[in-house]
Amino acid sequence: MMNPHVIEALQRSRYKVLSERAELEEIYRLRYKCYLAEEAIGENETGMLTDALDDAPNCVHVAIEVDGKVQAAMRLHLLSDLSLTSPTLDVFPELAEHLKKGQTILDPTRFVIDPEARKMRVPIHFLALRIPFLAAIFYDIDLALASVRTEHIAFYRRYLGYTLAIKARDYPGLKKPLHLLTANFRKQRDAVLARSPVFGPIEEFPHADIAFPALSGVYTASKAGRSEAA
């Protein structure tokens, strides 16, 4: 059974895949605001946090609106034998071994929550982490990644079944190093949903679904995934 605060938040929330330049720039400004507040970056003249990976063909940007205002966002890179572009792969090249085995990888980064949303006491972190979980279901992912600071490891372990794969390394453009967590999504999915059904599809709240793009020609599910679906 879901927490009533989460249910209320879902009723007020909408998920949106972003592609228009104006929408993306709003997200880049939100990133800058959040990262600057946490002293993870220095100031810049643009007031935005963006890089070339935001425009990669295998990148998907998703935002959450609460009461009509963007309160959280995340970008996703989908890795398969069709595309090897990913910020985390650049920092942890050991991940390439999974790709050589034909596995697929989901790399969620630039996870931000507007500080105002925290003041509203909306459980926005639970709503935001639905984004990579639903993406892993939609794209039939083998391995899910999470590049996180030390203080966030416990949450990912407890609620999403992640394990520490590689200890912290410096991350381009950030002042604070990040650990690499991984999860075998096929093995963890059912256990995670049994503990926390909020992360999965919810029939009562169809507006909480996410219209992910197919990424045809850019991403393809692994042979293991296609075999299970057959």
CB atoms within 10 A of CB 116: 12
User: pLDDT at position 105, please?
Assistant: 98
Alpha carbon 98 to its chain centroid, in Å, reads 19
* Structural domain contains residue 216: no
Residue 39, CB half-sphere, CA atoms under 13 Å: how many?
A: 0
Give the tens place of pLDDT for each residue, 96-119: 999 999 999 999 999 999 988 877
Number of domains the chain contains = 1
Reading phi first (left if > 0) and then psi (alpha if -120 to 50, else beta), residue 189 is in alpha
Q: Report yes or no: 108 and 146 within 8 Å, Cβ to Cβ.
A: yes
145 forms bridges with which residues in the sheet? 182
* Structural domain contains residue 39: yes
**Ranges 7-11, 125-129, 131-135, most confident:** 131-135
* Structural domain contains residue 212: no
* Structural domain contains residue 220: no
The domain of 175 spans 4-201
Q: Report yes or no: 92 and 169 within 8 Å, Cβ to Cβ.
A: yes
* Structural domain contains residue 209: no
* Structural domain contains residue 221: no
pTM above 0.85, yes or no: yes
Dihedral (Cα; 81, 130, 176, 92), 10-degree rounding:
-20
Give the tens place of pLDDT for each residue, 37-86: 989 999 999 999 999 999 999 999 999 998 889 999 999 999 999 999 99
Span 180-201, average pLDDT:
94
Q: Look at residue 1 and tell me whether its pLDDT is greater than 50.
A: yes
Across 3-7, 39-43, 111-115, 128-132, least confident range:
3-7
Q: Report yes or no: 108 and 74 within 8 Å, Cβ to Cβ.
A: yes
Length of the chain: 230
108 forms bridges with which residues in the sheet? 76
> In the predicted model, what is the mean pLDDT of the chain?
92
* Structural domain contains residue 230: no
Local structure of residue 194 (DSSP, 8 states): H
Across 45-49, 50-54, 126-130, 221-225, least confident range:
221-225
Structure tokens at 32: 């800058």
φ, ψ for residue 20, nearest 5 deg: -75, 140
CATH number of the domain bearing residue 156: 3.40.630.30
* Structural domain contains residue 60: yes
Q: Look at residue 220 and tell me whether its pLDDT is greater than 90.
A: yes
